């Protein structure tokens, strides 16, 4: 009987005279999706978290185009939760009066703030939807490996093993070992380790974003990475990494002989790494005391200056010494600069 009723209801919706009712998402749909993603991550299966986040951004934009702002606001709340912003009240997100400390990915937070403004405080201008589309495009670009794939100069059309072989074939191009966007296995890491040991004197940067790395895989690479004498930046974003790895990285950084010249380790867009411990940041500061440009927000205080920043559409980074650093910027045409309101 239940099957017959289901068929009847489907037939009614498919009939020409039937007026289609408004499509509404189940309130708990995205919450259940987040829980499923967390279980898949713990089981070592499924897709990395950035797939889910990009899908939520695209669905959010579709809802806004259809005028479903209330549902878009609910979805934005789930996206904030997935990105570790659930402890910040909506008023703080909208008006930037929150105290953001040690953020691992300030660019994403800035774009989310701008999205919240457009959804909850829509502007009457005709170009408001265009601005919303631009923000979603920037966020999608930042949370996905598109920019990394473009750097491979045609390698993306090859199979992953062919890409890996091509990158490890000769000397590091521009002193960079760029494996971003290439899925890696534990066996592949043995080849990468051998390459780093052979060409380590030439390596300034290692790009391992969006490669499917887990905590154990990073620990497998850690001895080779930490002894690179010229390494300044290490990108581990867009993988399966968790907060448990932060303890190992922080302990490694306490040894001045490990990562002797590193200035930044990108851990954004992973499973649950949303902030960086102070010992981690202080260890990086000791390695580059004159640089003063660690891409993190230590604190964003209240006051007139915060209001001016909100109107300008930029987020400044606080220097631990008390000075204010340059606004957050992102390379690439789609992510040039932080989101503007």
Tell me the C-alpha distance between 135 and 310, whole Å: 16
What are phi and psi for residue 180, nearest 5 degrees?
Answer: -60, 135
Tell me the C-alpha distance between 34 and 61, whole Å: 19
Own/partner contacts of 331-334, CB < 8 Å, gap of 24 or more, are 331/147, 332/141, 332/147, 334/137, 334/138, 334/141, 334/147
pLDDT (tens, 9 = 90+) of the chain, 341 residues, equals 444 444 344 344 444 444 444 444 444 444 444 444 444 444 445 889 999 999 999 999 999 999 898 999 999 999 999 998 865 555 555 554 444 556 788 889 889 988 888 888 877 666 778 888 999 999 999 999 864 444 444 545 557 788 899 999 989 999 999 999 999 999 999 999 999 999 999 999 999 999 999 999 999 999 999 999 999 999 999 999 999 999 999 999 999 999 999 999 999 999 999 989 999 999 999 998 766 555 543 333 333 333 333 334 333 333 333 333 333 333 344 433 333 33
Please state at what angle helix 215-226 crosses helix 186-199, rounded to 10 degrees.
Answer: 10
In the chain the first and final C-alpha atoms are separated, in Å, by 54
Nearest to 77 by CA among 85, 68, 69: 85
Task: Give every CB contact of residue 336 below 8 A, 6+ residues apart in sequence.
Answer: 329, 330
């Amino acid at each position: 009987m239940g099957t017959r009723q289901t068929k009847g209801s489907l037939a009614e919706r498919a009939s020409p005279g039937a007026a289609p009712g408004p499509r509404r998402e189940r309130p708990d749909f995205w919450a259940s999706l987040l829980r499923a993603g967390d279980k898949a991550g713990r089981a070592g299966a499924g897709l990395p978290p950035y797939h889910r986040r990009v899908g939520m951004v695209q669905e959010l934009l579709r809802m806004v185009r259809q005028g479903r702002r209330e549902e878009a606001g609910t979805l934005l709340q789930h996206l904030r939760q997935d990105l570790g912003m659930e402890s910040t009240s909506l008023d703080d997100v909208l008006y930037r009066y929150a105290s953001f400390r040690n953020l691992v990915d300030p660019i994403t937070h800035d774009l989310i703030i701008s999205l919240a403004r457009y959804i909850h405080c829509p502007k009457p201008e005709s170009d408001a939807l265009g601005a919303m589309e631009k923000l979603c495009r920037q966020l999608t670009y930042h949370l996905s490996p598109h920019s990394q794939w473009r750097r491979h100069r045609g390698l993306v059309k090859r199979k992953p093993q062919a890409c890996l072989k091509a990158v490890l074939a000769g000397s590091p191009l521009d002193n960079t070992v760029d494996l971003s966007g290439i899925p890696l296995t534990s066996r592949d890491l043995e080849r990468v380790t051998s390459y780093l040991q052979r060409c380590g004197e030439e390596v300034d940067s290692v790009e391992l974003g969006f490669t499917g790395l887990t905590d154990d895989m990073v620990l497998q690479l850690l001895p080779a990475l930490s002894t690179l004498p010229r390494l300044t930046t290490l990108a581990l974003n867009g993988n399966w990494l968790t907060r448990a790895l932060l303890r190992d990285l922080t302990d490694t950084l306490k040894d001045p002989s490990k990562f002797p010249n590193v200035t930044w380790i990108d851990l954004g867009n992973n499973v649950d790494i949303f902030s960086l411990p102070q010992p981690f940041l202080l260890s990086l500061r000791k390695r580059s005391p004159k640089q003063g440009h660690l891409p993190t927000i230590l604190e964003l205080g209240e006051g007139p200056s915060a209001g001016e920043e909100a109107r300008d559409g930029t987020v400044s980074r606080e220097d631990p010494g008390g000075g204010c650093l340059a606004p957050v910027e992102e390379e690439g045409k789609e992510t040039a600069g932080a989101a503007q309101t």
